[in-house]
Amino acid sequence: MRYFFTVLVALLCIVCSAREVAAAVAHAATDATVRIQLKWKHQFQFAGYYAALEKGFYADEGLHVSLIEGGPEHAPVKELLAGEVQYAVADAGVILTRAEGNPVVVVASLFQHSPQVVYTLSDISELQQLRNQRVMMQRGNLTIEVQAMLQRAGLPQNDYVRIPIGSLDDLIQRRTAAWPGYSSNEGFVLKQRGIPFHMFRPEDYGIDFYGDTLVTTEAEVVANPERVAAIRRATIKGWKYALAHKLEVVELIRRKYDSQHKSAAHLSYEADAIDQLMMSSIVPVGLSNPDRWQHIAAVFRQMGEPVETIAWNRFLYHPEPETLEKIWHYRYWLLFALLLALVVAMYLYNRQLRLGIKKRTAELEAVSSEYKEILDHMQDAYYRTNLQGEMTWVSLACERHLGYQRQELIGQRLNTLYYEKGGRDKFLQALDASGGNLQNYEVCLKHKDGSRVWVEVNAQYYHDAKGQVAGVEGNVRNINERKMAERESRALADQLQQAQKMESIGVLAGGIAHDFNNLLVGVMGNAELCMLDNRQDELQPYLERIFKSASHGADLVRQILAYSGQGNIAMGSQNFNTLICDVYELLAAAIGKQITLKQQLMDDLPDIYGDKNQLTQLIMNLMTNAAEAMQGQPGSIEVRTGETVLNEDDFHDMYMAGDMEPGEYVWLEVKDSGCGMDAETKARIFDPFFTTKESGSGLGLAALLGIVRSHGGTLSVESEPGEGACFKVFLPSLGAVFSGDSSLQQTAEFKLHGDAGSSAGGR
C-alpha cells in the first residue's frame, strides 16, 4: 500500500507539471489581451468572470483578460463574429446563429436553466393580452426564450410590436406592455417599489433552455486551442469561487463593478437565484449536454426555425482531445500507474462498489427528498395522475386545501373530488383544447367535509420513455378568498342598486300617495254624507259603489305609504305568534278550503318592536301571495316562527341587509307548495307595480319589503319553478332593539309622537 501511495504522489506531480507546462504555453500564445463581451450591465449574473479576474485565475493560466460591460447598445454574438472580442456571453439562441452558418462555438453552458422571463404590470394576467401591444426585445437572439414562449402561447412575432430593449422604468411608466428580464433580478426591484406585477416563465410553457453560455469562434478554437481551454478552466473556477463566497463577491461587485448601483440585498437575491439556475451541487459547472442542445433545436424546429444544418461536433467545444494529447506525452508513466491501480482495484473493488452505491443512493434520496420537501411546503398543491385519472402523487398542501390526508388521495380517482358532476371530463376537454398545457383553469372541488373549494389549476400531460402520454400539472391554487370577495362585491352592488331603486320609487310613491289620499278623503266624505240623506234612496246603490271603490283606493294608498316608509305607525311590543292567532280565522277564510294551512309556532317566542297594523298586513300579504301561488289548485301553506342569531355571513343572500348588525332575531317563515318562480321573476318580485297576476296591483310584496325595512329587518326568498316558494322575515328581537340599536327606537318613537295621524299602539 505504501508503494501504491508513492506512485499516486508521483502521478500527481506529473499532472501538476503538465498544468504548469500548459500554463506556460498558454502564456506564450496569449500575450495579447483577451476581450470577453458580457451580455448585460455589471451584476451578479457575471460574478464568475469577476472572481476569475480578481482572484487571479485568469492570470494563473497566463491570460490577460478584459471584461466588456454589456447593455442595450451591445449585441455580444455579433461583436464576437465581427472580431471585436474573442469571447462573449450568449444564451440558447446561439444555436440559431450557428444554424445560419456562423462559426460560433459553445465553450461552456453555465446556467443549466434560463433566467429569462417576461414581466408585465398586474393588469396583464395572460400572455394573449399582449396581442398588438408593444413588447421590448434585445437584439438578435438574446431573448429567444421569450419569443419561443410567446409563440407557444399563440403569439407569433407579427402579433405584437417588437421594440428595442430599454429600462425597467419603460414598463413601470407603461411605455411598453412587456419587459423581458431575469427571474433573478427585476422581481426584486418591483417588490421593493411595491408595484404589482406578473412574471411569465418560459418553462411554464414547455420552453426549458440553457441560460448564459460562454461562446467563441471556430477560428479561435483552431488558432488558440490552449487559450480556449485556459479561458474555460479559469471561468469555471471563478464561478465555483463566486457561488462558494457570495457575500464576498457581492461586496466586490459593489466596490468595482457598481455601474447599476444595486444594493447588497438586491445582489444577494440575484446570487441565490443564479445558484439555483446553475444547479452546481448536482450538475458540473459548464457542462454542455449534446442531447439537451438537440432538444432545444427540436423546439426551434417546431417554431419553424431552420436548424437542420448544425454540425454538432464543431458547435459544442470538446476539451477531451487536448487533454488526451497532453497525456500522450506521459503515456508510459500513466500506463504504469494504471496497471498498478488495476491491481489495487481488484482488492478494493467490491468494498468501493458497495460504498459508491450506498453514497449515490443517499445522494439521490437526499435530492428527491429535498425537492419533495420543497413542494410540500409550497402554498399550492402539486399532484400527478395516471391515464385512468388515479392520483399517483400529491403534495402536503392538499391537506390544507381539501382536508384529506395524503395517503387518502393516493390511488383515488380525481372525478370524485369535483363538486360539479362531469367536472373531470370538462377539465380533460379543456386540457386537450389547450394542446396539453392548460393554464389558469378555474374549477370547484369538494372538501372532505363536503364544502366547496374554488381552485385555479395549471396542468399539462407528461410522457413516458416512448413519448406516449402517461398522465397529467399540475398544480392547484386555492382561490376561495378571491371567489368570496367577488361574490360579496356582486352582492353589495346588487344591494346598493336595490336600495337606490327603492329609495327613488319610495319618494315618488309617497308623494303621490299623500296627494291621492287627500282626494279620496273628499270623495269618501261626500259619498258618506249623500248616503245619510234619505232623499237619495234611488242613488243609494251608486253611492255605495263610489264609497267602496274609494275605500279600495285608500287601501292601495296605505300599501304605497307602507312601501315608502311614510305610513302612520304606532310602535310597541308585538309578538308574531299573537298576531298570527288573531288573524288565523281570517287567513283560513282568505286562502280557501282547497289549501291546507299548517302552523308551527315557537313556544315563548320573544317579542319584537313594531306597529301592529303593519305587521298584520305583512302576515296577510305573505299568506295572500302564498295562496295565489297555488293558482286554484290544492296545496298547503306552512307558517313557522322562531328565534336565531345572525352573523355577517348570514346577511350575504338577504334583501336590504347591507347595514344589518349581527345579533338575536325573531323570524317568520311562510312556505307554500305552489308554482314557484324562475330566477328572472324572483329578481323583480319586490319591484313596485310588478305582478304576474292579471288583476294584481303589484304592491303587495313591495309594501311587505317596505314594512320589513321600516322595522329594521331583512328577509330571504328561496324558490324554484314547480317547487313552491319560502319567504322568511327576520326582525330584531325586542331585547336586541333596545340594547343595541337605539337609532331604531328613536326613529320609532319620533313617528309615534310626531305624526299627527298616528294612534297609540301595542298589544
In tens, the pLDDT along 490-511 reads 656 666 566 556 555 555 555 5
Contacts of 374 (CB under 8 A, 6+ apart): none
Given 171, 205, 239, which residue is the final one in a domain?
205
| Site of grid cell 336600495 | 499
- Residue 51 in any domain: the answer is yes
**Are 686 and 709 members of one domain?**
yes
Give me the percent of the chain exceeding a pLDDT of 90.
Answer: 32
Least confident of 152-156, 342-346, 401-405, 443-447: 342-346
- Residue 232 in any domain: the answer is yes
- The pLDDT of residue 435 is 87
Assess contact for 550 and 557: CB atoms under 8 A: no
Least confident of 632-636, 659-663, 741-745: 741-745
- Mean pLDDT (the chain) is 80
- Residue 3 in any domain: the answer is no
- Strands 595-600 and 635-646 come out as parallel
**pLDDT score of 232 more than 90:** yes
- Residue 300 in any domain: the answer is yes
- Residue 19 in any domain: the answer is no
pTM of the model: 0.46
User: In this predicted model, which residue has the larger pLDDT, 734 or 535?
Assistant: 734
- The pLDDT of residue 36 is 98
Structure confidence at residue 411 as a pLDDT band (50, 70, 90): confident
Least confident of 178-192, 213-227, 355-369, 397-411: 355-369
- The pLDDT of residue 658 is 67
- The pLDDT of residue 604 is 92
**pLDDT score of 690 more than 60:** yes
Q: What share of the chain is helix, strand, coil (3-state, %, to 5)?
A: 50, 20, 30
- Residue 17 in any domain: the answer is no
User: In this predicted model, which residue has the larger pLDDT, 327 or 119?
Assistant: 119
User: In this predicted model, which residue has the larger pLDDT, 3 or 443?
Assistant: 443
User: Span 76-105, mean pLDDT?
Assistant: 94
656-689 pLDDT per residue, tens: 676 788 899 999 999 999 888 888 888 778 776 6
**Are 335 and 316 members of one domain?**
no
**Are 616 and 699 members of one domain?**
yes
How far does CA 68 lie from the centroid of its chain?
Answer: 42
Given 478, 493, 513, which residue is the final one in a domain?
478
128-160 pLDDT per residue, tens: 999 999 998 877 666 778 888 888 888 988 899
Residue among 530, 526, 525 at smallest CA distance from 541: 530
| Site of grid cell 467490491 | 350
Structure confidence at residue 226 as a pLDDT band (50, 70, 90): very high
**Are 244 and 296 members of one domain?**
yes
- The pLDDT of residue 505 is 58
User: In this predicted model, which residue has the larger pLDDT, 449 or 380?
Assistant: 449
- The pLDDT of residue 562 is 56
**Are 492 and 608 members of one domain?**
no
Given 549, 564, 579, which residue is the final one in a domain?
564
**Are 584 and 729 members of one domain?**
yes
Structure confidence at residue 743 as a pLDDT band (50, 70, 90): very low
User: Span 199-223, mean pLDDT?
Assistant: 92
**pLDDT score of 650 more than 90:** no
Residue 567, sorted as left (phi over 0), alpha (psi -120 to 50) or beta, turns out to be: beta
Residue 515, sorted as left (phi over 0), alpha (psi -120 to 50) or beta, turns out to be: alpha
- Cell numbers found for residue 717: 326568498
**pLDDT score of 755 more than 60:** no
- The pLDDT of residue 14 is 46
| Main-chain phi, psi angles of 66, to 5 degrees | -120, 125
Assess contact for 664 and 737: CB atoms under 8 A: no
Q: d(Cα 246, Cα 258) in Å, to the nearest integer?
A: 16
**Are 425 and 364 members of one domain?**
no
Structure confidence at residue 569 as a pLDDT band (50, 70, 90): low
- Cell numbers found for residue 525: 266624505
- Write the CATH number for 396: 3.30.450.20
Beta carbons within 10 angstroms of residue 399's beta carbon: 17
What sign has the CA pseudo-torsion 189, 192, 196, 198?
positive
Give me the percent of the chain exceeding a pLDDT of 70.
Answer: 75
User: In this predicted model, which residue has the larger pLDDT, 545 or 475?
Assistant: 475
- Residue 12 in any domain: the answer is no
User: In this predicted model, which residue has the larger pLDDT, 366 or 337?
Assistant: 337
**Are 392 and 407 members of one domain?**
yes
- Cell numbers found for residue 663: 345579533
Query: How many domains does the chain contain in total?
Result: 6
Residue among 700, 743, 361, 717 at smallest CA distance from 558: 700
For the chain, first and last CA: distance in Å?
Answer: 113
- Write the CATH number for 722: 3.30.565.10
Domain that holds residue 717: 571-754
**pLDDT score of 757 more than 50:** no
In three-state secondary structure terms, 193 is: coil
**Are 51 and 197 members of one domain?**
no
- The pLDDT of residue 375 is 62
- Residue 760 in any domain: the answer is no
Assess contact for 55 and 88: CB atoms under 8 A: no
- The pLDDT of residue 700 is 65
**Are 82 and 143 members of one domain?**
no
- The pLDDT of residue 185 is 86
Least confident of 32-41, 545-554, 641-650: 545-554
**Are 468 and 372 members of one domain?**
no
- The pLDDT of residue 693 is 64
Assess contact for 253 and 50: CB atoms under 8 A: yes
User: Span 300-324, mean pLDDT?
Assistant: 78
- Cell numbers found for residue 327: 497525456
**pLDDT score of 760 more than 60:** no
**Are 606 and 620 members of one domain?**
yes
- Write the CATH number for 167: 3.40.190.10
User: Span 210-238, mean pLDDT?
Assistant: 95
